[in-house]
Amino acid sequence: MTKVSDRLNRLSESATLAMARMSRDLKDQGKDVIALSLGEPDFDTPDFVKEAAKKAVDDNYSHYTPVPGILDLRKSIAKKFKRDNGLDFTAEQIVVSTGAKQSIANVCLSLLNPGDEVILPAPYWVSYADIVCLAEGITVEVSSSVEDDFKVTAAEIENKITEKTKLLMFSSPCNPSGSVYTKSELLEIAKMLEKYPNIYIIADEIYEHINFTNQHFSIGTIPELKDRVITVNGVSKGFAMTGWRVGFIGAPIWIAKACSKIQGQVTSATCAVAQKATETAVNADPNEVSFMKDIFLKRRNLVLEKLNEIEGIKCNVPQGAFYLFPDVSYYLGKTDGESIINSSDDLCMYLLNSCYVALVAGTPFGNPECVRISYAASEEDLLEAISRIKNQLSKLK
Ligand code: PMP
Ligand code: GLU
Protein backbone atom coordinates (compact mmCIF):
# COMPACT_ATOMS: atom_id res chain seq x y z
CA MET A 1 0.00 0.00 0.00
CA THR A 2 1.33 3.39 -0.95
CA LYS A 3 2.22 5.75 1.84
CA VAL A 4 2.53 8.91 -0.22
CA SER A 5 0.16 11.79 0.49
CA ASP A 6 -3.23 12.27 -1.15
CA ARG A 7 -1.76 15.45 -2.62
CA LEU A 8 0.91 13.45 -4.43
CA ASN A 9 -1.58 10.85 -5.56
CA ARG A 10 -3.58 13.58 -7.28
CA LEU A 11 -0.50 14.69 -9.21
CA SER A 12 0.62 13.22 -12.54
CA GLU A 13 4.21 12.80 -13.62
CA SER A 14 5.11 15.60 -16.05
CA ALA A 15 4.23 14.13 -19.46
CA THR A 16 7.09 15.93 -21.18
CA LEU A 17 9.62 14.63 -18.69
CA ALA A 18 8.03 11.14 -18.70
CA MET A 19 8.39 10.89 -22.47
CA ALA A 20 11.99 12.11 -22.22
CA ARG A 21 12.64 9.43 -19.60
CA MET A 22 11.12 6.67 -21.77
CA SER A 23 13.12 7.69 -24.83
CA ARG A 24 16.31 7.80 -22.73
CA ASP A 25 15.55 4.25 -21.49
CA LEU A 26 15.14 3.01 -25.07
CA LYS A 27 18.36 4.75 -26.09
CA ASP A 28 20.13 3.02 -23.20
CA GLN A 29 18.92 -0.28 -24.67
CA GLY A 30 20.70 0.66 -27.90
CA LYS A 31 17.64 1.78 -29.90
CA ASP A 32 18.05 4.55 -32.44
CA VAL A 33 15.60 6.95 -30.81
CA ILE A 34 14.85 10.41 -32.18
CA ALA A 35 13.53 12.38 -29.25
CA LEU A 36 11.27 15.25 -30.25
CA SER A 37 9.60 15.18 -26.88
CA LEU A 38 11.39 17.57 -24.59
CA GLY A 39 11.00 21.29 -25.11
CA GLU A 40 14.52 22.56 -24.88
CA PRO A 41 16.72 24.37 -27.37
CA ASP A 42 19.38 22.11 -28.86
CA PHE A 43 21.84 25.05 -28.87
CA ASP A 44 24.59 25.60 -26.34
CA THR A 45 24.40 28.51 -23.94
CA PRO A 46 26.06 31.53 -25.63
CA ASP A 47 29.76 32.00 -24.81
CA PHE A 48 29.32 35.47 -23.33
CA VAL A 49 26.95 33.99 -20.73
CA LYS A 50 29.33 31.13 -19.95
CA GLU A 51 32.16 33.64 -19.46
CA ALA A 52 30.04 35.56 -16.94
CA ALA A 53 29.44 32.35 -15.00
CA LYS A 54 33.17 31.52 -14.95
CA LYS A 55 33.89 35.00 -13.62
CA ALA A 56 31.18 34.58 -10.97
CA VAL A 57 32.88 31.42 -9.75
CA ASP A 58 36.23 33.24 -9.52
CA ASP A 59 34.55 36.19 -7.80
CA ASN A 60 33.28 33.77 -5.16
CA TYR A 61 29.57 33.87 -5.82
CA SER A 62 29.38 30.86 -3.59
CA HIS A 63 27.10 32.10 -0.85
CA TYR A 64 23.36 32.29 -0.30
CA THR A 65 21.88 35.24 -2.16
CA PRO A 66 18.86 37.30 -1.07
CA VAL A 67 15.79 35.05 -1.42
CA PRO A 68 14.21 36.97 -4.37
CA GLY A 69 17.58 37.15 -6.13
CA ILE A 70 20.74 39.26 -6.23
CA LEU A 71 19.75 42.94 -6.27
CA ASP A 72 21.80 43.78 -9.39
CA LEU A 73 20.09 40.93 -11.23
CA ARG A 74 16.65 42.13 -10.18
CA LYS A 75 17.54 45.65 -11.33
CA SER A 76 18.70 44.24 -14.68
CA ILE A 77 15.48 42.24 -15.05
CA ALA A 78 13.43 45.37 -14.30
CA LYS A 79 15.38 47.16 -17.07
CA LYS A 80 14.82 44.22 -19.44
CA PHE A 81 11.08 44.30 -18.78
CA LYS A 82 11.06 48.03 -19.64
CA ARG A 83 13.38 47.73 -22.66
CA ASP A 84 11.74 44.71 -24.32
CA ASN A 85 8.17 44.77 -23.06
CA GLY A 86 7.31 48.31 -21.91
CA LEU A 87 6.57 46.95 -18.42
CA ASP A 88 7.30 49.11 -15.37
CA PHE A 89 8.66 47.22 -12.39
CA THR A 90 11.00 48.15 -9.55
CA ALA A 91 13.54 45.60 -8.29
CA GLU A 92 11.19 44.93 -5.33
CA GLN A 93 8.61 43.59 -7.77
CA ILE A 94 10.95 41.01 -9.25
CA VAL A 95 11.41 37.50 -7.84
CA VAL A 96 14.03 35.22 -9.36
CA SER A 97 13.37 31.49 -8.97
CA THR A 98 14.68 28.05 -9.89
CA GLY A 99 13.15 28.19 -13.37
CA ALA A 100 9.90 29.69 -14.59
CA LYS A 101 8.30 26.45 -13.44
CA GLN A 102 8.99 27.40 -9.85
CA SER A 103 7.90 30.98 -10.53
CA ILE A 104 4.49 29.70 -11.64
CA ALA A 105 4.26 27.34 -8.67
CA ASN A 106 5.13 30.21 -6.29
CA VAL A 107 2.36 32.38 -7.74
CA CYS A 108 -0.26 29.61 -7.65
CA LEU A 109 0.65 28.70 -4.07
CA SER A 110 0.52 32.38 -3.14
CA LEU A 111 -2.86 33.14 -4.66
CA LEU A 112 -5.02 30.02 -4.61
CA ASN A 113 -7.25 28.79 -1.83
CA PRO A 114 -8.70 25.27 -2.05
CA GLY A 115 -11.48 25.25 -4.64
CA ASP A 116 -10.45 28.45 -6.42
CA GLU A 117 -10.83 28.12 -10.16
CA VAL A 118 -8.07 28.74 -12.69
CA ILE A 119 -9.01 29.25 -16.32
CA LEU A 120 -6.62 27.58 -18.75
CA PRO A 121 -7.08 28.22 -22.46
CA ALA A 122 -6.33 24.81 -23.99
CA PRO A 123 -3.97 23.59 -25.18
CA TYR A 124 -1.85 24.73 -22.25
CA TRP A 125 1.57 23.75 -20.98
CA VAL A 126 1.30 20.42 -19.11
CA SER A 127 2.63 21.63 -15.78
CA TYR A 128 -0.01 24.36 -15.37
CA ALA A 129 -2.72 21.84 -14.53
CA ASP A 130 -0.63 19.90 -12.01
CA ILE A 131 0.74 23.02 -10.34
CA VAL A 132 -2.85 24.24 -9.88
CA CYS A 133 -3.73 20.81 -8.48
CA LEU A 134 -0.79 21.00 -6.07
CA ALA A 135 -2.13 24.36 -4.88
CA GLU A 136 -5.57 22.73 -4.45
CA GLY A 137 -7.16 24.87 -7.13
CA ILE A 138 -9.50 23.62 -9.84
CA THR A 139 -8.66 23.91 -13.51
CA VAL A 140 -11.30 25.12 -15.93
CA GLU A 141 -10.38 24.60 -19.58
CA VAL A 142 -11.42 26.72 -22.53
CA SER A 143 -11.04 24.55 -25.58
CA SER A 144 -9.80 25.53 -29.02
CA SER A 145 -8.96 23.67 -32.20
CA VAL A 146 -6.49 23.70 -35.04
CA GLU A 147 -9.05 25.60 -37.13
CA ASP A 148 -8.92 28.55 -34.64
CA ASP A 149 -5.09 28.47 -34.63
CA PHE A 150 -5.56 27.06 -31.11
CA LYS A 151 -6.54 30.48 -29.75
CA VAL A 152 -9.54 31.38 -27.61
CA THR A 153 -11.60 34.57 -27.63
CA ALA A 154 -12.52 36.93 -24.81
CA ALA A 155 -16.14 35.71 -25.02
CA GLU A 156 -15.08 32.06 -24.70
CA ILE A 157 -13.06 32.88 -21.59
CA GLU A 158 -15.88 34.95 -20.15
CA ASN A 159 -18.25 31.99 -20.52
CA LYS A 160 -16.13 30.05 -18.02
CA ILE A 161 -15.90 32.78 -15.38
CA THR A 162 -17.69 32.06 -12.11
CA GLU A 163 -17.58 33.58 -8.64
CA LYS A 164 -14.76 31.18 -7.85
CA THR A 165 -12.47 32.24 -10.71
CA LYS A 166 -9.21 33.52 -9.29
CA LEU A 167 -6.71 33.22 -12.11
CA LEU A 168 -6.31 33.10 -15.87
CA MET A 169 -3.05 31.51 -17.02
CA PHE A 170 -1.72 31.30 -20.56
CA SER A 171 1.50 31.34 -22.55
CA SER A 172 2.13 33.40 -25.69
CA PRO A 173 3.97 32.26 -27.75
CA CYS A 174 2.19 29.11 -26.61
CA ASN A 175 3.62 25.80 -25.56
CA PRO A 176 2.39 23.48 -27.17
CA SER A 177 0.64 25.17 -30.13
CA GLY A 178 3.19 27.86 -31.01
CA SER A 179 0.30 30.33 -31.33
CA VAL A 180 0.93 33.98 -30.60
CA TYR A 181 -1.84 36.23 -29.32
CA THR A 182 -1.84 39.56 -31.16
CA LYS A 183 -2.05 42.90 -29.42
CA SER A 184 -5.66 43.38 -30.51
CA GLU A 185 -6.68 39.91 -29.27
CA LEU A 186 -5.08 40.61 -25.90
CA LEU A 187 -6.69 44.06 -25.71
CA GLU A 188 -10.07 42.41 -26.19
CA ILE A 189 -9.38 39.87 -23.44
CA ALA A 190 -8.17 42.70 -21.20
CA LYS A 191 -11.30 44.75 -21.86
CA MET A 192 -13.46 41.79 -20.84
CA LEU A 193 -11.35 41.25 -17.69
CA GLU A 194 -11.89 44.85 -16.60
CA LYS A 195 -15.37 43.71 -15.53
CA TYR A 196 -13.88 41.11 -13.19
CA PRO A 197 -11.49 42.90 -10.81
CA ASN A 198 -10.91 39.81 -8.65
CA ILE A 199 -9.27 37.77 -11.41
CA TYR A 200 -5.47 37.69 -11.65
CA ILE A 201 -3.58 36.88 -14.79
CA ILE A 202 -0.38 34.87 -15.22
CA ALA A 203 1.15 35.87 -18.55
CA ASP A 204 3.84 33.31 -19.31
CA GLU A 205 6.20 34.96 -21.80
CA ILE A 206 9.06 32.47 -21.64
CA TYR A 207 9.07 32.07 -25.47
CA GLU A 208 9.16 35.84 -26.00
CA HIS A 209 12.39 35.72 -28.00
CA ILE A 210 11.19 32.88 -30.24
CA ASN A 211 8.43 34.81 -31.97
CA PHE A 212 8.43 34.80 -35.77
CA THR A 213 5.99 37.74 -35.97
CA ASN A 214 8.55 39.86 -34.08
CA GLN A 215 5.57 41.45 -32.36
CA HIS A 216 5.43 40.39 -28.79
CA PHE A 217 2.78 42.10 -26.69
CA SER A 218 2.69 41.94 -22.89
CA ILE A 219 -0.81 42.07 -21.41
CA GLY A 220 0.73 43.54 -18.24
CA THR A 221 1.30 46.85 -20.07
CA ILE A 222 -2.44 47.53 -20.12
CA PRO A 223 -2.92 50.13 -17.37
CA GLU A 224 -6.32 48.79 -16.23
CA LEU A 225 -4.78 45.35 -15.54
CA LYS A 226 -1.38 46.43 -14.29
CA ASP A 227 -2.14 45.57 -10.66
CA ARG A 228 -3.34 42.06 -11.48
CA VAL A 229 -0.88 40.72 -14.01
CA ILE A 230 2.06 38.53 -13.08
CA THR A 231 4.50 38.40 -15.99
CA VAL A 232 6.59 35.24 -16.05
CA ASN A 233 9.78 34.99 -18.07
CA GLY A 234 13.22 33.39 -17.89
CA VAL A 235 16.34 32.45 -19.77
CA SER A 236 15.70 28.74 -20.43
CA LYS A 237 14.33 29.12 -23.94
CA GLY A 238 15.56 32.40 -25.42
CA PHE A 239 19.13 31.94 -24.15
CA ALA A 240 19.31 28.14 -24.31
CA MET A 241 19.83 27.93 -20.55
CA THR A 242 17.41 25.20 -19.46
CA GLY A 243 19.91 23.55 -17.12
CA TRP A 244 20.86 26.75 -15.33
CA ARG A 245 17.43 26.85 -13.72
CA VAL A 246 16.59 30.53 -13.63
CA GLY A 247 13.15 32.03 -14.17
CA PHE A 248 11.56 35.22 -12.84
CA ILE A 249 8.39 37.20 -12.37
CA GLY A 250 7.46 40.86 -12.39
CA ALA A 251 4.39 41.27 -10.20
CA PRO A 252 2.47 43.58 -7.86
CA ILE A 253 4.63 44.01 -4.80
CA TRP A 254 2.40 42.00 -2.43
CA ILE A 255 2.51 39.03 -4.79
CA ALA A 256 6.28 39.33 -5.14
CA LYS A 257 6.57 39.34 -1.34
CA ALA A 258 4.31 36.29 -1.06
CA CYS A 259 6.38 34.37 -3.64
CA SER A 260 9.55 35.31 -1.81
CA LYS A 261 8.09 34.03 1.46
CA ILE A 262 7.31 30.63 -0.09
CA GLN A 263 10.68 30.42 -1.79
CA GLY A 264 12.43 31.34 1.46
CA GLN A 265 11.04 28.17 2.98
CA VAL A 266 11.64 25.93 -0.01
CA THR A 267 14.79 26.81 -1.95
CA SER A 268 16.37 29.91 -0.34
CA ALA A 269 16.83 31.33 -3.86
CA THR A 270 18.38 29.82 -6.96
CA CYS A 271 22.10 29.23 -7.62
CA ALA A 272 24.27 32.36 -7.23
CA VAL A 273 26.48 31.58 -10.24
CA ALA A 274 23.45 30.98 -12.45
CA GLN A 275 22.03 34.30 -11.29
CA LYS A 276 25.20 36.15 -12.36
CA ALA A 277 25.10 34.41 -15.74
CA THR A 278 21.45 35.44 -16.09
CA GLU A 279 22.33 39.05 -15.29
CA THR A 280 24.65 39.07 -18.31
CA ALA A 281 22.01 37.38 -20.48
CA VAL A 282 19.22 39.82 -19.69
CA ASN A 283 21.53 42.83 -20.05
CA ALA A 284 22.49 41.71 -23.56
CA ASP A 285 20.87 42.99 -26.73
CA PRO A 286 18.25 40.35 -27.66
CA ASN A 287 19.73 40.41 -31.17
CA GLU A 288 22.67 38.44 -29.73
CA VAL A 289 20.41 35.37 -29.63
CA SER A 290 18.09 36.02 -32.58
CA PHE A 291 20.10 33.60 -34.76
CA MET A 292 18.39 30.77 -32.84
CA LYS A 293 14.97 32.12 -33.75
CA ASP A 294 16.00 32.28 -37.42
CA ILE A 295 17.08 28.64 -37.32
CA PHE A 296 13.87 27.61 -35.55
CA LEU A 297 11.83 29.35 -38.25
CA LYS A 298 13.66 27.48 -40.99
CA ARG A 299 13.00 24.20 -39.21
CA ARG A 300 9.35 25.07 -38.60
CA ASN A 301 8.88 25.57 -42.32
CA LEU A 302 10.63 22.33 -43.12
CA VAL A 303 8.67 20.20 -40.65
CA LEU A 304 5.39 21.86 -41.49
CA GLU A 305 5.88 21.17 -45.19
CA LYS A 306 6.67 17.51 -44.54
CA LEU A 307 3.83 17.02 -42.05
CA ASN A 308 1.34 18.53 -44.44
CA GLU A 309 2.25 15.79 -46.91
CA ILE A 310 1.03 13.11 -44.47
CA GLU A 311 -2.51 11.94 -45.03
CA GLY A 312 -5.02 13.15 -42.45
CA ILE A 313 -2.68 15.38 -40.43
CA LYS A 314 -3.90 18.93 -39.80
CA CYS A 315 -1.53 21.70 -38.67
CA ASN A 316 -1.79 25.35 -37.77
CA VAL A 317 1.10 27.61 -38.73
CA PRO A 318 2.77 28.31 -35.39
CA GLN A 319 4.13 31.82 -35.03
CA GLY A 320 6.49 31.13 -32.16
CA ALA A 321 8.14 28.71 -29.72
CA PHE A 322 9.55 25.50 -31.25
CA TYR A 323 6.60 23.14 -31.34
CA LEU A 324 4.09 21.84 -33.81
CA PHE A 325 0.82 20.52 -32.49
CA PRO A 326 -0.79 18.57 -35.31
CA ASP A 327 -4.32 17.26 -35.04
CA VAL A 328 -4.09 13.48 -35.50
CA SER A 329 -7.76 12.63 -34.95
CA TYR A 330 -7.84 11.01 -38.41
CA TYR A 331 -5.77 8.15 -36.99
CA LEU A 332 -7.75 7.60 -33.78
CA GLY A 333 -9.80 4.40 -33.89
CA LYS A 334 -7.44 2.82 -36.44
CA THR A 335 -5.38 -0.29 -35.72
CA ASP A 336 -1.96 -1.69 -36.52
CA GLY A 337 -3.53 -5.15 -36.61
CA GLU A 338 -2.73 -5.82 -32.96
CA SER A 339 -4.24 -3.03 -30.92
CA ILE A 340 -6.51 -0.08 -31.52
CA ILE A 341 -5.13 3.46 -31.34
CA ASN A 342 -7.78 5.02 -29.13
CA SER A 343 -6.03 8.22 -28.11
CA SER A 344 -3.09 10.46 -28.86
CA ASP A 345 -1.38 8.73 -25.91
CA ASP A 346 -1.75 5.37 -27.71
CA LEU A 347 -0.48 6.95 -30.91
CA CYS A 348 2.64 8.30 -29.18
CA MET A 349 3.39 4.93 -27.59
CA TYR A 350 2.87 3.25 -30.98
CA LEU A 351 5.34 5.62 -32.65
CA LEU A 352 7.85 5.33 -29.83
CA ASN A 353 7.84 1.55 -29.75
CA SER A 354 7.55 0.88 -33.47
CA CYS A 355 9.78 3.52 -35.07
CA TYR A 356 11.56 5.06 -32.08
CA VAL A 357 10.29 8.60 -32.48
CA ALA A 358 9.37 10.26 -29.19
CA LEU A 359 6.58 12.87 -29.25
CA VAL A 360 4.24 13.93 -26.45
CA ALA A 361 0.50 13.21 -26.50
CA GLY A 362 -1.86 16.19 -26.59
CA THR A 363 -3.99 14.83 -23.72
CA PRO A 364 -2.00 16.34 -20.82
CA PHE A 365 -1.94 19.64 -22.73
CA GLY A 366 -5.76 19.63 -22.71
CA ASN A 367 -6.21 18.52 -26.33
CA PRO A 368 -6.44 14.73 -26.78
CA GLU A 369 -6.75 14.94 -30.57
CA CYS A 370 -3.24 16.29 -31.06
CA VAL A 371 0.40 15.37 -30.50
CA ARG A 372 3.28 17.74 -29.75
CA ILE A 373 6.42 17.70 -31.83
CA SER A 374 9.39 19.69 -30.60
CA TYR A 375 11.48 20.80 -33.56
CA ALA A 376 14.42 21.83 -31.38
CA ALA A 377 16.52 19.20 -33.18
CA SER A 378 18.80 19.01 -36.22
CA GLU A 379 17.26 19.15 -39.71
CA GLU A 380 18.64 15.70 -40.34
CA ASP A 381 16.89 14.23 -37.28
CA LEU A 382 13.70 16.09 -38.08
CA LEU A 383 13.56 14.79 -41.64
CA GLU A 384 14.31 11.24 -40.54
CA ALA A 385 11.69 11.43 -37.76
CA ILE A 386 8.94 12.71 -40.05
CA SER A 387 9.75 10.06 -42.62
CA ARG A 388 9.51 7.35 -39.95
CA ILE A 389 6.22 8.80 -38.66
CA LYS A 390 4.77 8.92 -42.18
CA ASN A 391 5.74 5.34 -42.85
CA GLN A 392 4.39 4.10 -39.54
CA LEU A 393 1.10 5.98 -39.80
CA SER A 394 0.52 4.52 -43.26
CA LYS A 395 0.37 1.08 -41.63
CA LEU A 396 -2.67 2.02 -39.53
CA LYS A 397 -5.96 0.85 -41.00
N1 PMP B 1 6.42 27.91 -19.23
C2 PMP B 1 6.36 27.25 -20.40
C3 PMP B 1 5.26 27.59 -21.34
C4 PMP B 1 7.32 26.28 -20.71
O5 PMP B 1 7.26 25.64 -21.86
C6 PMP B 1 8.31 25.97 -19.77
C7 PMP B 1 9.23 24.81 -20.10
N8 PMP B 1 10.46 24.94 -19.95
C9 PMP B 1 8.34 26.69 -18.57
C10 PMP B 1 7.38 27.64 -18.33
C11 PMP B 1 9.37 26.45 -17.51
O12 PMP B 1 10.63 26.80 -17.90
P13 PMP B 1 11.87 26.78 -16.90
O14 PMP B 1 11.41 26.22 -15.62
O15 PMP B 1 12.90 25.96 -17.58
O16 PMP B 1 12.30 28.22 -16.77
N1 GLU C 1 8.91 22.94 -20.75
C2 GLU C 1 9.58 21.98 -21.52
C3 GLU C 1 8.57 21.14 -22.27
O4 GLU C 1 7.43 21.51 -22.35
C5 GLU C 1 10.56 21.20 -20.70
C6 GLU C 1 10.03 20.07 -19.89
C7 GLU C 1 9.36 20.49 -18.65
O8 GLU C 1 9.85 21.39 -17.96
O9 GLU C 1 8.29 19.94 -18.39
O10 GLU C 1 8.92 20.14 -22.81
What's the predicted TM-score (pTM) here? Answer: 0.97
φ and ψ at residue 199, rounded to 5 degrees: -95, 130
Ligand nearest to the CA of 372: 2
- Residue 340: partners with Cβ closer than 8 Å, 6 or more residues away: 333, 334, 346
99 Cβ closer than 6 Å to some ligand 1 atom: yes
Q: What is the DSSP letter of 361?
A: E
Which stretches does DSSP call E strand in 129-266? 138-142, 165-171, 200-204, 229-234, 247-250
What string of pLDDT tens digits covers the 397 residues of the chain?
679 998 898 898 888 888 999 999 999 999 999 999 989 999 999 999 999 999 999 999 999 999 999 999 999 999 999 999 999 999 999 999 999 999 999 999 999 999 999 999 999 999 999 999 999 999 999 999 999 999 999 999 999 999 999 999 999 999 999 999 999 999 999 999 999 999 999 999 999 999 999 899 999 999 999 999 999 999 999 999 999 999 999 999 999 999 999 999 999 999 999 999 999 999 999 999 999 999 999 999 999 999 999 999 999 999 999 999 999 999 999 999 998 999 999 999 999 999 999 999 999 999 999 999 999 999 999 999 999 999 999 999 9
State the greatest distance between any 2 C-alpha atoms of the chain, in Å, as a whole number.
Answer: 63
From CA 104, how far away is CA 263, in angstroms rounded?
12
Structural domains in the chain?
A: 6-44+289-392 (3.90.1150.10), 52-284 (3.40.640.10)
101 Cβ closer than 6 Å to some ligand 1 atom: yes
**365 Cα–ligand 2 center, Å:** 11
- Residue 198: partners with Cβ closer than 8 Å, 6 or more residues away: 165, 166
Question: 30-54: per-residue pLDDT in tens?
Answer: 999 999 998 999 999 999 999 999 9
Counting ligand 1 atoms within 8 A of each CB, the residue from 19, 96, 125 with the most, and so the one to mutate, is 125
- Are 361 and 329 within 8 A, CB to CB? no
Please report which residue ranges of 29-161 form alpha helices under DSSP H. Answer: 47-58, 71-80, 100-111, 126-134, 154-158
pLDDT score of 230: 98
pLDDT score of 13: 85
For Cα atoms 163, 164, 167, give the angle at the middle one, nearest 5 degrees. Answer: 115
